[in-house]
Chains A and B, each alone.
Chain A
């Protein structure tokens, strides 16, 4: 159960690892926004190419890549099939009742590319950035919002702690699922109501124990001098280098392309 989970930080020495976390965060943000723009697909394709390049730079082998795509393969396949079948337009292929249109095919590909960008942006970000770096980046980028009374530093800590406990809670949910199955909870029942009941029999104990856990963690943090105030040293620890300038250059280029 303790295997390496997708989205977990993997220590390394790649170009992406060395980038300033602020650059990476900004980059992901820009990539995702430009990819979701409605009428401009050239930015989307540039992003896909850039991401593939990043995957290469990260030292991810083809086998690992396939493993990463595996969890979303059905989602990709189904969206592609549905989009290309159900959107009407100029007919390309006509098989009895099923027909594939040119517009459908196009939208299908665009959707797949968008999912790909969303998925790999987050994977690459969390793979090459430790949660604490990410927290520091969020704190640094959104720091001006503290002035208007939004406690960004607390928000950043929240993210840091959540990332730490996601695998723990998933594991706990798996254990409780097994325990409830052993007592005969009908997870595979055809009746939707029964199925929902079974799911609740897992959800409620997980929630209850998470609340208990939260109380424990709060005490542990407090006894290590956490007071929720802003830490300026952490932000100073970030360093902006040459590679960051190159990366930011690339990011701004893609914005320009979108706007033109």
Chain B
């Protein structure tokens, strides 16, 4: 049994008014355990479709999706697959089902028919990880957008997922909420070894990802590291992405004869680099 999500020759078509849209065309992809992966692509490029294939919310028109070896077509595995592959959506409001924080966290494990003591233990732990312990008995509709998104993640964590798929989770958050959420995701990835697949329109969210996948018109056009994608002009051409300012700066410096060998994508990395040069 392979420890990964695997897509084999996956196609997805939608039929609307007798008109066929090819949302995904022949995608082959492996998401191994432990990575932090960013998915980028224009509107309508098939990102959401791809995400929903990962946990069997939708099924491929052709091809197969395997989660740790389990076929999403097989109905017997559906609960196992969904508890392993957690899904976070764009709108924080519409994915919170209970009125009280604590009960929201218990919803998933309750559906898994776990005993109450076990649920309690998991709720404690998830609240702690997502920094929500103080809000345990709060009403969910009084939380801020950022807190709601963290709550949504916490209530997935109680199902002990191996993979976390996030479909534009930061698009309704402000600057600080977005920054905070990304830091929590990094923590989940590094400390709890949860695979993160983050769909976003904001390049800043995924600069420190292990791997970036770029979709265009339903096909994977790039699958590489952030540095390789942002520093090569032809990759930028293919993906139609705008490189982050820091990469522009590094490329400019390299052109003028400074040989910066490091892969520098963020301000922090630049600061670190300069400090090392000074010492």
| A interface residues (Cβ-Cβ under 8 A, vs B) | 2, 8-9, 11, 130-132, 160-161, 163-164, 167-168, 213, 216-217, 219-227, 231-234, 236-237
Q: Which residue of A lies closest to B152 (CB)?
A: A220
User: Is there an interface contact between A224 and B93, defined as CB atoms closer than 8 Å?
Assistant: no
Inter-chain contacts of B95 with A (CB < 8 A) = 216-217, 220
Inter-chain contacts of A223 with B (CB < 8 A) = 55, 57, 82, 86-87
User: Is there an interface contact between A130 and B103, defined as CB atoms closer than 8 Å?
Assistant: yes
User: Is there an interface contact between B139 and A225, defined as CB atoms closer than 8 Å?
Assistant: no
Q: Which of B137, B141, B155 meets A164, CB within 8 Å? A: B141
Given A168-B141, A231-B113, A233-B110, do A9 and B99 touch, yes or no (CB 8 Å)? yes
Q: Which residue of B lies closest to A167 (CB)?
A: B141
27 contacts between A and B (CB under 8 A): A2-B141, A9-B100, A9-B139, A11-B137, A131-B98, A160-B99, A164-B99, A164-B140, A167-B141, A168-B141, A213-B93, A213-B94, A217-B97, A219-B57, A223-B55, A224-B97, A224-B107, A224-B108, A225-B79, A225-B159, A226-B107, A226-B111, A227-B79, A231-B111, A233-B110, A233-B113, A237-B116
Any A CB within 8 A of the CB of B162: no
Any A CB within 8 A of the CB of B257: no
Inter-chain contacts of A217 with B (CB < 8 A) = 94-95, 97
Q: Which residue of B lies closest to A230 (CB)?
A: B113
Given A220-B89, A220-B95, do A225 and B108 touch, yes or no (CB 8 Å)? yes
User: Is there an interface contact between A232 and B94, defined as CB atoms closer than 8 Å?
Assistant: no
Inter-chain contacts of A160 with B (CB < 8 A) = 97-99
Inter-chain contacts of A231 with B (CB < 8 A) = 110-111, 113
Interface residues of A: mostly helix, strand, loop or mixed? Answer: helix
Inter-chain contacts of B115 with A (CB < 8 A) = 233
How many angstroms from the CA of A161 to the CA of B97 in the assembled complex?
A: 6
User: Is there an interface contact between B99 and A130, defined as CB atoms closer than 8 Å?
Assistant: yes
How many angstroms from the CA of A220 to the CA of B107 in the assembled complex?
A: 11
User: Is there an interface contact between B82 and A131, defined as CB atoms closer than 8 Å?
Assistant: no
Inter-chain contacts of A8 with B (CB < 8 A) = 99, 139
User: Is there an interface contact between B100 and A130, defined as CB atoms closer than 8 Å?
Assistant: yes
Inter-chain contacts of B98 with A (CB < 8 A) = 131-132, 160, 164
How many angstroms from the CA of A191 to the CA of B96 in the assembled complex?
A: 41
Inter-chain contacts of B16 with A (CB < 8 A) = none
Any A CB within 8 A of the CB of B83: yes
Any A CB within 8 A of the CB of B2: no
Inter-chain contacts of B111 with A (CB < 8 A) = 224-227, 231
Known contacts A8-B99, A226-B111, A236-B116; 10 further A-B pairs (Cβ under 8 A): A167-B141, A168-B93, A217-B95, A220-B94, A223-B82, A223-B87, A224-B82, A225-B79, A227-B111, A233-B110
How many angstroms from the CA of A226 to the CA of B100 in the assembled complex?
A: 18
How many angstroms from the CA of A220 to the CA of B141 in the assembled complex?
A: 17
User: Is there an interface contact between A132 and B113, defined as CB atoms closer than 8 Å?
Assistant: no
Any A CB within 8 A of the CB of B235: no
Inter-chain contacts of A221 with B (CB < 8 A) = 97, 107
How many angstroms from the CA of A222 to the CA of B142 in the assembled complex?
A: 24
Inter-chain contacts of A9 with B (CB < 8 A) = 99-100, 139
How many angstroms from the CA of A233 to the CA of B107 in the assembled complex?
A: 12
Q: Which of B96, B103, B137, B142 meets A131, CB within 8 Å? A: B103
How many angstroms from the CA of A213 to the CA of B82 in the assembled complex?
A: 21
What distance in Å separates the Cβ of B272 from its nearest Cβ neighbour in chain A? 39
User: Is there an interface contact between A224 and B155, defined as CB atoms closer than 8 Å?
Assistant: yes
How many angstroms from the CA of A131 to the CA of B137 in the assembled complex?
A: 13
How many angstroms from the CA of A223 to the CA of B87 in the assembled complex?
A: 7
